[in-house]
Amino acid sequence: MINQYPLWKNLAIVLVLLVGIIYALPNIYGEDPALQITSARAGKLDASLAGTVTATLEDAGIAYRNTESDDQQILVRFNDTGAQLKAMDFIKAGVGSQYVVALNLAPATPEWLQSLNALPMYLGLDLRGGVHFLMEVDMDAATGKAIEGYAGDARSLLRGEKIRYLTIRAENDALRIMFRSPEDRERANSLLGDELPGLMLDRIDAESGEVGLYIRPSEQELRDIRKFALQQNIMTLRNRVNELGVAEPVIQQQGTQRIVVQLPGVQDTARAKRIIGATATLEYRAVDTEHDIETALAGKVPAGSKLYYDRNGSPVLLKKRVIVTGDQIINAGAGFDQQSGTPNVTVMLDAKGARKMLAFTKESVGKPMAVVFIENKTQVQMVDGKPVRSTKKIEEVVSVATIRDVFSKRFQTTGLDSPQEAHELALVLRSGALAAPVEIIEERTIGPSMGKENIEQGFKSVVIGFCAVLIFMAIYYRVFGLVANLALTVNLVLIVAVLSLLQATLTLPGIAGIVLTVGMAVDANVLIFERIREELRNGNSPQASIQAGYEKAFSTIADANITTLIAAIVLLSFGTGPIKGFAVTLSIGIMTSMFTAIMGTRAVINLIYGRRRVASLMI
């Protein structure tokens, strides 16, 4: 018989179907309202925290379904959102500000599916509700800040080599340095060219006899400056969004100078804007080793000093005079000390901060220096059974290290316990302040009722379109139509499975892409079936007609789907937001429909007609 698949091909189709069913299953179990408790420093949780959380809920009389915990997070599941929201205020007050309590919708997926990493797909902002901000980074300010840094570097270098200059000033994204003589200019040109790589130097020869240099960043240097400003702002905003207590926020780059911040489940736009726009500061201070800390704890703090506490609650006596602040840090990264092999954090300061640090370290070798993190945090306290919010200024020492040598612009902070602590400290240093100002240029709020309505309407559109196609195909093409309906059902399962496997986000435009895919998937079968009918009318045998129908219609189907896939890829590459959501499901749907409409239906038709002689086809 000519219409038969080899065994391996049938097994491959069955395997794809089984995998698709397994990874689509988590989406039918739904989600539980939950609270997620994690450390504000992304560290391990205290072993007793789970008991504190359950005791707080029991004392407040709030029913919960169960708790799940490990050393990174605690997840408390509830039966309804009312209990979830009520419990959030009590737990926040019970665990303190050192933990982040986030609203979450936890998948109710069985453990055997979770063990296979089978998780439901995410719902987008338009389906879940929340707030959306489009923020634009002031790249001119970022460039100007870099130019100011270069000006300070140039002054320090020229003074160090005793090269006389008249003026140094910023001018049109460049530095203009004027000298007394061509000889001074040539010496400066050689020095700055070696010490400031990535900058372009042009000589100035004015008719008035003035001589000077133009120093401007190269195109690559400008791109690096802007890229760093954008990435640091994204990091800063991500840390600030954690204070909102939002699970699964979306903070991502859009274009070359914009940032999208999406906060599912948040309707309080004013609070979100306050926290996103808050300014966290950082200070380096000298440790007061001249006075007794026990005397300070007794209330007799020496003049010129101030009492602080570290993250573990241990007291530290520091000098009031600030060495440098966080806005003078231009970069920080975690690593390992080459000599001792212990974790460290490398910090880079701008010119102003470098000068101050150099002057301080010259006088303080062998003495300790502390890093103080300062931020305004919103706290919740229960007063007469009601949550009361207040703002508190948090000042804590995140690191104390001994100065081993004189340094200025770039230095290392050692004495850290673990690589994780080094990473956390570098994160704090980088995200203490925005690298460049940001402006909210677009703001949208989507309520939860709208999200629920979107889900219902989108689901109805898929069901109605799907059922209409099923009825038409069953009536018009009979047995072959039923086979196409089976393939169409499998196609939907595979689309959901791929979205879940990739942990992609389903949006309302994505649902529209699925509806369009339903029509395109059945269109391929219509072409095949009409070709089979034409072959039967020409007098060919049923088996030859089936083979000819699939073979001759393939090129037409492939052309149509490939051109549509190209359009979807273009939308995915150059589109933003909703357009990408549409393109993702359309691209996935095209590939799965090619599999189900051609290979899938052919396999079923072969099983029905391929092993026997038939006089006619029910088509």
Distances in Å between the Cα of 165 and the Cα atoms of 162, 190, 208, 388, 472 are: 9, 15, 17, 60, 86
Report the topology of domain 7-26+447-609: Multidrug efflux transporter AcrB transmembrane fold (1.20.1640)
- Who has greater pLDDT, 485 or 401? 485
Residue ranges of domains in the chain: 7-26+447-609, 31-107, 141-219, 281-415
Separation CA 411–CA 405 (nearest Å): 9
Tell me the average pLDDT across 363-390: 70
CB 431 within 8 Å of CB 235: yes
For residue 414, give the amino acid letter: T
- Can you read off the two tokens belonging to residue 240? 């600030």
Distances in Å between the Cα of 169 and the Cα atoms of 152, 201, 215 are: 10, 15, 10
- Which tens digits make up the pLDDT trace of 561-580? 888 889 988 988 887 667 88
Do the domains at 7-26+447-609 and 31-107 have one common CATH topology?
A: no
Architecture of domain 281-415 in this structure? 2-Layer Sandwich (3.30)
519 Cβ neighbours under 8 A, 6+ residues apart: 465, 469
> Residue 124 carries which DSSP code?
-
Report the topology of domain 141-219: Gyrase A; domain 2 (3.30.1360)
- Can you read off the two tokens belonging to residue 480? 């072959």
Q: Is the CATH code 3.40.50.1370 the one for domain 31-107?
A: no
- Give the model's pLDDT for residue 493: 92
The answer on pLDDT for 331 being more than 80 is: no
Cβ burial of 182 (10 Å; 0-12, 13-18, 19+) is exposed
Pick from 72-76, 332-336, 360-364, 569-573: least confident: 332-336
Residue 469: how many other CB atoms lie within 10 Å: 19
For residue 41, give the amino acid letter: R
High-pLDDT (> 70) share of the chain, %: 83
The answer on pLDDT for 618 being more than 50 is: yes
- Which tens digits make up the pLDDT trace of 406-418? 888 887 766 565 6
Separation CA 127–CA 507 (nearest Å): 6
Mean pLDDT, all residues of the chain: 80
Sorting pLDDT into bands at 50, 70 and 90, what band is 390?
low
Separation CA 431–CA 429 (nearest Å): 6
State the number of CA atoms in the 13 A half-sphere of 20 facing the CB: 18
Whose structure tokens read 């002689």? 613
Nearest to residue 27, comparing CAs of 521, 496, 386, 543?
A: 496
- Which tens digits make up the pLDDT trace of 490-514? 999 999 999 988 877 787 788 888 8
Q: Three-state SS for 72? A: coil
